[in-house]
Amino acid sequence: MQKFKILVTRKWPKKVEESLIATFDTTLNVDDKPLSESELIEAMKSYDALLPTVTDPITDKIISTSDRQVKIIGNFGVGFNNIDIDSAKNNNIVVTNTPEVLTDCTADIAMLLLLGVSRRGSEGEFHVRKKEWVGWRPTHMMGTKITDKTLGLFGMGRIAQAMAHKAHFGFRMKIIFYDPYFNDEKTIKKFNAERCENIDDLFSNSDFVSLHCPSTKETKGIVNYETISKMKKTSYLINTARGDIVVEDDLVKALNEELIMGAGLDVYEAEPKVNEGLLKLKNVFLLPHLGSATTETREAMGMRVYENIKAFFQDKEPRDRVV
Ligand code: DGY
């Protein structure tokens, strides 16, 4: 195969970088420093493929640059809201993502957030480390029991289903969901899940609301003060999807007003910045976008990009083509 020129925008797992080097004329980012807009524009002119990650904004300005050579953008991540998909379509550029391989690990992190916030995991850990613990007592650091509680899934895609599996079969949780596009009756039956007809029903009937929808024009900011006000005072919000689905200032306000009991977040509106209001609160469990962060998963994600790019340059249909 002709050695196509590809640019990898961040440092990737070694195993994947080795496969890329063996097949393509590959430029790596050994310093792992994010590329600027002008560097990305230059890259569009001199490479055949661009391999960004979910934190690289691939805007219309970058995509529609003149003298463009890039023909495929192989995104490292299942979410592709960092890429202007309409522009890619209009400019005849193929875009691929990395579904499936991160489903279980992301659902694990959603469960970790759920457990961490309701059982006061990080509070307890700091308590021990700061040597504040004076011993067991009946009223010390009481959290919320999760067994037999209701988990409300906003979106019923792969990650939501993996979480439903863990929560229902592992923790005997009742599953309810809101997803107007989901009609797989067999799966609904498997989890004995109940469909909610609207968002209000989901938010008002859940002990834990876990977000599993993509970030789109329709879902951006959909979790705001009004939505959160519908939740039970004893409930928690969990987000492993995308930060901009939640209006962070509204969440902070709701938490300060004790409208809900707490939140577990892996994603934020303006990553890597985290809202100062959240940092001041004890009843939040905060992680730095770790959903897919296991060696096995990150290698598998990278290999999916590799396979997609390879297929494309062999004139085959890439398995994970999104446009
Ligand atoms: C994705 O793939 O979209 C994740 O957010 C990165 O783990």
Residue 54 Cβ inside 6 Å of ligand 1? The answer reads: yes
Nearest CA to ligand 1 atom 1: 77
Summarize the confidence of residues 267-294 as an average pLDDT. Answer: 98
- Whole-number Å distance, alpha carbon 83 to ligand 1 midpoint, is 13
Summarize the confidence of residues 151-169 as an average pLDDT. Answer: 98
Distance CA 144, CA 167 (A): 15
Q: Residue 184: how many CB atoms within 10 A of its CB?
A: 11
**pLDDT value of position 149:** 98
- pLDDT band of residue 29 (cuts 50, 70, 90) is very high
What's the CATH fold of domain 5-101+295-313? Rossmann fold (3.40.50)
Annotated active-site positions, please?
Answer: 242, 271, 289
Residue 102 Cβ inside 6 Å of ligand 1? The answer reads: yes
DSSP β-ladder status, 150-154 and 208-211: parallel
The residue among 209, 207, 245, 200 whose CA lies nearest residue 227 is 200
**pLDDT value of position 2:** 82
- Whole-number Å distance, alpha carbon 301 to ligand 1 midpoint, is 10
Distance CA 112, CA 59 (A): 33
For 221-261, what is each residue's pLDDT tens digit?
Answer: 999 999 999 999 999 999 999 999 999 999 999 999 999 99
Residue 291 near residue 263 (C-beta atoms within 8 A):
no
Residue 65 near residue 22 (C-beta atoms within 8 A):
no
Nearest CA to ligand 1 atom 3: 79
Residue 49 near residue 73 (C-beta atoms within 8 A):
yes
**pLDDT value of position 54:** 97
**pLDDT value of position 31:** 97
- pLDDT band of residue 22 (cuts 50, 70, 90) is very high
Residue 5 in 3-state DSSP? strand
Residues in the chain, total: 323
Which residue type occupies 229?
S
- pLDDT band of residue 90 (cuts 50, 70, 90) is very high
Tell me the β-bridge partners of 285.
264
Q: Mean pLDDT of all residues in the chain?
A: 98
Q: Which tokens in the block code for residue 181?
A: 């596009």
Range in 1-5, 119-123, 147-151 the model is least confident about: 1-5
Q: Is 75's pLDDT higher than 90?
A: yes
Residue 318 Cβ inside 6 Å of ligand 1? The answer reads: no
For 47-66, what is each residue's pLDDT tens digit?
Answer: 999 999 999 999 999 999 99
Residue 170 near residue 114 (C-beta atoms within 8 A):
no
Containing 118, the helix (H) or strand (E) segment is: helix 103-118
Tell me the β-bridge partners of 263.
237, 284
Residue that has been written with the tokens 């509106």 in this structure: 269
The segment(s) of the chain belonging to CATH 3.40.50.720 are: 5-101+295-313, 103-286
Summarize the confidence of residues 296-318 as an average pLDDT. Answer: 98
- pLDDT band of residue 88 (cuts 50, 70, 90) is very high
For 286-299, what is each residue's pLDDT tens digit?
Answer: 999 999 999 999 99
- Whole-number Å distance, alpha carbon 1 to ligand 1 midpoint, is 31
Considering the domain delimited by 103-286, tell me its CATH architecture.
3-Layer(aba) Sandwich (3.40)
